Amino acid sequence: MSELLTKAQQLKKAAKTLAVLSTNEKNEALAKIADALIEQKEWILEENEKDVALGKEQGLSPALIDRLQLTNERLMQIVDGVRQVINLPDPIGETVEEWTRPNGLRIKNIRVPLGVIGMVYEARPNVTVDAATLCLKAGNAVLLRGSSSALRSNKALVHVMQQALAHSAIPADAVQLLEDTSRETANQMFQLNEYLDVLIPRGGAGLIQSVIRNATVPVLETGVGNCHIFIDESAQKQMAIDIVLNAKTQRPSVCNAVETVLIHENWPYVQELLAALHSKGVELRGDNTLFSSYSFVHQANEADWSTEYLAPILAVKLVKNVKEAIQHIDQYGTKHSEAIVSENQENVHLFFQSIDAAVLYHNASTRFTDGEQFGYGAEIGISTQKLHARGPMGLRAITTTKSLVYGTGQIRV
Amino acid sequence: MSELLTKAQQLKKAAKTLAVLSTNEKNEALAKIADALIEQKEWILEENEKDVALGKEQGLSPALIDRLQLTNERLMQIVDGVRQVINLPDPIGETVEEWTRPNGLRIKNIRVPLGVIGMVYEARPNVTVDAATLCLKAGNAVLLRGSSSALRSNKALVHVMQQALAHSAIPADAVQLLEDTSRETANQMFQLNEYLDVLIPRGGAGLIQSVIRNATVPVLETGVGNCHIFIDESAQKQMAIDIVLNAKTQRPSVCNAVETVLIHENWPYVQELLAALHSKGVELRGDNTLFSSYSFVHQANEADWSTEYLAPILAVKLVKNVKEAIQHIDQYGTKHSEAIVSENQENVHLFFQSIDAAVLYHNASTRFTDGEQFGYGAEIGISTQKLHARGPMGLRAITTTKSLVYGTGQIRV
């Protein structure tokens, strides 16, 4: 039998045991994972070094090498992450709703694990541990499909986790790495409806689209973010500048960073805003008016309005009013995070009501679209789809419910 | 441009208008639909008669003809259904959760429409109106893709609904019928991610699997139900008989009817139960022991354990204990509705904890898995998947949420 099918069957079996464990049993197992990661640190870093060496040999870009690289510090952050997951409240068993029907039937919806989760992700080895421990905490088994460039690192991390689980109530089989990283096997995995309850892709737009195109297993789509900030005529000068600088420069490589700023044409501080961005090293790509008005603004082309730069580059455009801003976001947005900076409540209301996105902000940075910032603790990703979970996804997003109905012999008439 | 693309664009535009209408505006529009269906009754029945005549000519089975046929009474039931939808509470705009973060950000999750819903269904023309009005009430535009055998009926019903909407706040374009019923166009529809937010297939297993296999648009999978009842050793005689008779015979053609009954081998009333079923005209297909013990029991083959009969046929099997019942359901169930009749609380607990299904019953008929019986009002279908909605889906299942975040200049540090 193929590696994929063998592991899928082991996972389905392990998921049954895992689903009914107590919070304590799960937390003790996670603590063993944290300890084992520390104990096996040297070996994990050695295996990671082999991936890094091979990546350099194969000419991976410095940015990709950086994502792939583990260090002592990064490994300790991973361990801290596991300990944070231990401290999160366990969603399993929660009563979501309970009511009694006129015929006396008592209905109770309780929260249960999804079952087996397929994680599909790119080179960051930290996802291997972050995702696995979140899945386990919510009672789910997990099939990890990372990229071939991180195979040695992922094998080491999964081996350490499985060894730790072997001494815990969670079956060691509940975490599996798909070592065959071929595209054919990935496509088989995406259609393994009998064994996998959901796929969660994490990575660039190409990876996510490939999963959506090929999957028959339900997908929790995560985060391409072409995020906008609209600065209204009435926006406070310093607040607007602070928010845009934060949303663009605090961490440009993430999906909740801003990519296009739309500015009301009558806002008096356009120059101050653009100069502040320029002085922080942000490359500006402007519409024709801005391009011809400011020497340091490059000319934007059509593609700029749809680009998720993930870099210190920002598209900027003047608009006539909030309606034109809404139309622009409707056309180019990815339904992730959109902000309005304004002192005009009517415009805020219109913006909030009209725009179809996971998170809308009034007078705040788009950078808050994040599980921890929302108060959910660690996140499994940020959903940009509308079904099941929207926006930052915490532990509850990787659970489902079942209805328990208590009767005394009721039949339907 | 193709019919599909033209209508998809009209729907997306109409959805924007519809999303922000008040409950009153939506209810007034639905009342106009109810009135128009009555006014245009004769014409609708004439058009339906043409479908029926053509179906007979083409040799459709009497059962299919019966599903296709509209009568004065059935049309009035459809109108009653619309009036029930008017009376349902409007989920749109509900605050689902609201909290304030330590940095002062106020986060409010509110309920909003999904957008444009694609309904894919088989010959029953009542679905055309039921589904359309539920979608509209929850603020969604809807693309209806019925079967070619009901094309004239569906065209008439959609024409009447659109005419009614033309005099209301809801754009007439918010309800569209895909008249091209070719398989190629259906597959295009299933991949129209730019315009459709969700697909809801309603029909047999073949239809549902075809949508899942071909769709890139997220799917809300509905209800194939291979439902079981387990009669434990301690089950009360009359209660068990009443529940099984109800679950099998009250309406055998629906997904929440029971298809296999598992009986504890020490339950003393096996003969009484089987005789009661036999006397009600239920064909029994039993395991070897039951087959050799009762002259009126046929021999079941392996396929019987997986068959959703949707007819007065029942598979029956003796099991050693609750664990064997759970294993059987694990292997053959479709995660729809499973019941235990028992006076042993420990066994009930084990059954409820172990079985992965949308709805579990203790001492009640499986026939209660239904939006109205759950108290949700009319239902758009019964979900057998685990994401987004599980079990009976009412209006809330065709909504999503968005997070509104109110700040005073917060930036991320």
Cβ-defined contact of B412 to A246 (cutoff 8 Å): yes
pLDDT bin (cut points 50, 70, 90) of residue B1 is confident
pLDDT value, residue A204 = 83
B251 and B315 in a single domain? The answer is: yes
In the predicted structure, residue A158 carries a pLDDT above the cut 90? yes
A79 and A129 in a single domain? The answer is: yes
Whether B216 and chain A come into contact, CB under 8 Å, resolves to yes
Cβ-defined contact of A364 to B236 (cutoff 8 Å): no
In the predicted structure, residue B201 carries a pLDDT above the cut 80? yes
A214 and A285 in a single domain? The answer is: no
pLDDT bin (cut points 50, 70, 90) of residue B55 is very high
Instruction: List, as ranges, residues 243-302 from B with C-beta within 8 Å of A.
Output: 243, 245-247, 250
ipTM: 0.91
Percent pLDDT > 90 in chain B is 91
Nearest chain B residue to A358 by CA: give it. Answer: B402
More confident site: B62 or B156 = B156
> Span B145-164, mean pLDDT?
97
Whether B374 and chain A come into contact, CB under 8 Å, resolves to yes
Whether B239 and chain A come into contact, CB under 8 Å, resolves to yes
Q: Give the integer Cα–Cα distance in Å for A328 and A336.
A: 14
B103 and B142 in a single domain? The answer is: yes
B145 and B239 in a single domain? The answer is: no
Size of interface A-B (CB pairs under 8 A): 183
A116-121 and A313-319 strand pairing: unpaired
Whether B16 and chain A come into contact, CB under 8 Å, resolves to yes
Q: Choose among B101, B239, B409: nearest Cβ to A363.
A: B409
Q: Are B286 and B294 in contact, with CB atoms under 8 Å apart? A: yes
pLDDT value, residue B261 = 98
pLDDT in tens, B253-268: 889 999 999 999 999 9
Q: Which domain holds residue A137?
A: 3-221+388-406
Lowest-pLDDT range, A29-38, A60-69, A310-319, B91-100?
Answer: A60-69
Farthest-apart Cα atoms in chain A, separation = 80
A75 and A176 in a single domain? The answer is: yes
pLDDT value, residue B224 = 83
In the predicted structure, residue A114 carries a pLDDT above the cut 90? yes
Q: Give the integer Cα–Cα distance in Å for A275 and B111.
A: 40
* Distance (Å) of CA A230 to CA A235, A299, A317, B52, B93: 9, 20, 10, 57, 24
> Span A340-351, mean pLDDT?
98
The answer to whether residue A162 is domain-embedded is yes
A283-286 and A313-319 strand pairing: parallel
pLDDT bin (cut points 50, 70, 90) of residue B205 is confident
> Span B1-10, mean pLDDT?
96
The answer to whether residue B411 is domain-embedded is no
Chain A residues within 8 A of B99 when measuring between CB atoms: 375
Q: Give the integer Cα–Cα distance in Å for A96 and A91.
A: 10
Cβ-defined contact of A364 to B197 (cutoff 8 Å): no
Cβ-defined contact of B212 to A219 (cutoff 8 Å): no
Whether B360 and chain A come into contact, CB under 8 Å, resolves to yes
pLDDT value, residue B64 = 87
In the predicted structure, residue A7 carries a pLDDT above the cut 80? yes
Domain count along chain B: 2
A215 and A316 in a single domain? The answer is: no
The answer to whether residue B186 is domain-embedded is yes
pLDDT bin (cut points 50, 70, 90) of residue B345 is very high
pLDDT value, residue A27 = 98
B356 and B402 in a single domain? The answer is: no
The answer to whether residue B413 is domain-embedded is no
**Domain CATH number, residue A402:** 3.40.605.10
> Span B158-179, mean pLDDT?
98
pLDDT in tens, A30-62: 999 999 999 999 999 999 999 999 999 999 998
The answer to whether residue A64 is domain-embedded is yes
The answer to whether residue A395 is domain-embedded is yes
B198 and B233 in a single domain? The answer is: no
Cβ-defined contact of A406 to B364 (cutoff 8 Å): yes
In the predicted structure, residue B185 carries a pLDDT above the cut 90? yes
B240 and B173 in a single domain? The answer is: no
Q: Choose among A375, A402, A410: nearest Cβ to B390.
A: A402
Whether B220 and chain A come into contact, CB under 8 Å, resolves to yes
pLDDT bin (cut points 50, 70, 90) of residue A64 is confident
**Domain CATH number, residue B329:** 3.40.309.10
The answer to whether residue B302 is domain-embedded is yes
In the predicted structure, residue B222 carries a pLDDT above the cut 80? yes
In the predicted structure, residue B215 carries a pLDDT above the cut 80? yes
B215 and B259 in a single domain? The answer is: no
Q: Are A139 and A149 in contact, with CB atoms under 8 Å apart? A: no
Whether A121 and chain B come into contact, CB under 8 Å, resolves to no
Instruction: List, as ranges, residues 150-179 from B with C-beta within 8 Å of A.
Output: none
The dihedrals phi and psi of B411, each to the nearest 5 degrees, come to -125, 160
pLDDT value, residue B254 = 86
In the predicted structure, residue B73 carries a pLDDT above the cut 80? yes
B18 and B162 in a single domain? The answer is: yes
pLDDT value, residue B377 = 83
The answer to whether residue A214 is domain-embedded is yes
